[in-house]
Amino acid sequence: MKKIDWEKMSKPIILVGAIIILSVLRPQSFLTANNFANVLWSVSVIGIMTCGTVFVFLAGGIDLSIGTLAGLSAITVVEIIDKMGATNASVIIGIIAALCVGAFAGMVHGLIITRFNIPAFLVTFAAQSVYLGLSMVITNNRIVSAREPALFTSIGSMKILGFPLPIYLMIIIALISWFSLSRTTFGRDIYAVGGNPEASEISGVHVSKDIVLCYVFSGLTAAIGGIVLASMTQQGMASTGSGYETQVITAAVIGGVSLLGGVGTVPGCIYGVVIMGLINNGLNLMSVPSTQSGLVQGVVIIIAVAFDALQHQDQSRKKVKRISEQIKGTASS
């Protein structure tokens, strides 16, 4: 019989454990298809953004600009709808423009980071302010409403088989990311670049080009996140998306992504995103007062991450023990 790989199983165990605990605590409301749709809907934007930004993390970088870039993209689409009139054509033009904004911003980040050799933290941190500032200037710090047309408002809330559209978008983007990272040369190169950029360069990987592409993808998913957010709330404003970068980083790290690069997977990210959604949903369903929810949220995240880390350590300890026994065995023979 094939031995169970506990290292791989720890995340599903935590997920199932969390679901069982919440089902027992809130049997009436938690374990329903509608509630699962709500959980996934509430984290879909973070999920979409995490699936793109994970490329940057894996390549050893960081993207702090995604929150305000999502805001700028949201404003781009709602401004175009507002100025051109609430027609389907303006929605399509708005979406294309917002995606271009995201991809272009990502390309600029990547080029500055690789050409000028400036730390990604600094570049994207500065870019964060630039996008917030741009959004403020464009909107004159006002809320731009987009309550129609239906083509736009349905992006964030239209239901297919009982599940809102953003959940499908998250799944599609997760599949694209997973495929690119695990089934293509580009994906393997990203892991190599994140693990050891010098060695990758020597072995013929186009490090700079790959890094730029990572930021383009990150910018693109930030833009998609922004469009979905604008549609969900039927508005765009300068502060739309602000702070999402922290949630994306948290989800990725919970999901086992190393901020040092080279380690992490897309399923891991989705796990991190869903765990965050479950914790939030659980707190809401159990009516935890807002004064305590931050505390409970933090403690639950630490417990989940510690449990996961413990499983990994256990496995590595066993591995070390096995190898040292093998060495001893060879030495004695």
Partner 1 sequence: MFNKTDCNRTEQGITRRGAIAAIASLSASALLAGCSGERTERTDSTANTGDTPTTTSSKIKKNPYTEDIKIAYVAHDLSTPNNQAWLEGIERECASWSNIVIQSFNGESSAETQTQVMADVINQEYDAILLQCSDGTALAPSVQQAEEAGIPVITINLDAATVHSALVMAVDYDAGRMAADKIADQIGKEGKVAIIQGVPGLTRTDNLERGFRETIANYPGIEIVDAQSAAFEKEQAITVMNSFLQNYPDLKAVFAINDAMAEGAALAAQSADKKGQIVIWGADGEKDALAMIESGDMAGTIYTNSWDEGSTAAKIALLMIGSEYSYTVLSETPQVIMEPIVVTADNVGSIPEEDRW
Min separation Cβ 296 and partner 1, Å? 13
Residue 5: what residue type? D
Q: Does 74 bind partner 1 (CB under 8 A)?
A: no
Q: Does 291 bind partner 1 (CB under 8 A)?
A: yes
Q: Does 293 bind partner 1 (CB under 8 A)?
A: yes
Compute φ and ψ for 159, nearest 5 degrees.
Answer: -105, 135
Min separation Cβ 162 and partner 1, Å? 11
The one-character DSSP state at 159 is E
For 321, counting Cβ atoms within 10 Å of its Cβ (0-12 exposed, 13-18 middle, 19+ buried), the class is exposed
Residues 263-282, mask of contacts with partner 1 (x by CB under 8 A): -----------------xx-
CA distance 156 to 140: 25
Min separation Cβ 124 and partner 1, Å? 19
Greatest CA span in the chain, whole angstroms? 82
Min separation Cβ 130 and partner 1, Å? 14
**How far is the CA of 123 from the CAs of 6, 63, 108, 142, in angstroms?**
39, 9, 10, 27
In the complex with partner 1, which residue's Cβ is closer, 39 or 205? 39
Strand pairing partners for 163?
A: 160
Tokens of 42: 């509430």
Strand pairing partners for 145?
A: 235
CA distance 308 to 234: 38
Q: Does 232 bind partner 1 (CB under 8 A)?
A: yes
Is residue 77 a contact partner of residue 236, using CB atoms and an 8 Å limit? yes
Using alpha carbons, select from 9, 3, 4, 6 the residue that is nearest to residue 268.
9
Min separation Cβ 175 and partner 1, Å? 25
Exposed e or buried b for every residue in 198-232, given b needs 16+ CB within 10 A? eebeeeebebbebbbbbbbbbbbbbbbbbbbbbbb
In the complex with partner 1, which residue's Cβ is closer, 258 or 284? 284
User: Which 115-144 positions form the footprint of partner 1 (CB under 8 A)?
Assistant: 136, 141-143
In the complex with partner 1, which residue's Cβ is closer, 102 or 225? 225
Min separation Cβ 145 and partner 1, Å? 5
Q: Does 209 bind partner 1 (CB under 8 A)?
A: no
Tokens of 72: 């700028």
Residues 162-181, mask of contacts with partner 1 (x by CB under 8 A): --x-----------------
In the complex with partner 1, which residue's Cβ is closer, 229 or 257? 229
Q: Which of 117, 185, 290, 330 binds partner 1 (CB under 8 A)?
A: 290
User: Which 29-68 positions form the footprint of partner 1 (CB under 8 A)?
Assistant: 29, 32, 34-35, 38, 41-42
Binding positions for partner 1, rule: CB under 8 A = 26, 28-29, 32, 34-35, 38, 41-42, 136, 141-143, 145, 147, 157, 159, 164, 229, 232-235, 237-239, 280-281, 284-285, 287, 289-291, 293
